[in-house]
Amino acid sequence: MKSTDWIKSRTSQATGNCIEMRRWDSKVEVRDSKNPFRPLPAADPEAIGVWLMGAKRGEYDQMSVLPEDRSSDPGSTVPH
């Protein structure tokens, strides 16, 4: 499987508080951008896909804190 560079949400660029992801062989790796040399455990791409679907539906919203001004960002997924 093809590997990719680390990617992160464009809405997190200014704050530096973000999670980055990349495809590495047959897994998806996740890391905290503040500690890039310490990747978190890798997961199967299918499991990541299921998790992302839940995140898009707001199933994990209670786990995060977003600044109020993010809701006006055109790339934001925060409901208006």
Q: Tell me if 49 is assigned to some domain.
A: yes
Q: Tell me if 80 is assigned to some domain.
A: no
DSSP state of 18: -
Q: Tell me if 46 is assigned to some domain.
A: yes
Q: Tell me if 73 is assigned to some domain.
A: no
Q: pLDDT tens digits for 17-70?
A: 788 888 888 888 888 888 888 867 788 889 989 988 998 998 988 887 765 555
Q: Tell me if 37 is assigned to some domain.
A: yes
Q: Tell me if 53 is assigned to some domain.
A: yes
Domain count, the chain: 1
Q: Tell me if 70 is assigned to some domain.
A: no
Range of the domain at 53: 1-59
Q: pLDDT tens digits for 8-21?
A: 877 776 666 788 88
Q: Is 15 left (phi over 0), alpha (psi -120 to 50) or beta?
A: alpha
Q: Tell me if 16 is assigned to some domain.
A: yes
Tell me the whole-structure pTM to 2 decimals: 0.59
Selection from 50, 58, 49 nearest residue 77 by Cα = 58
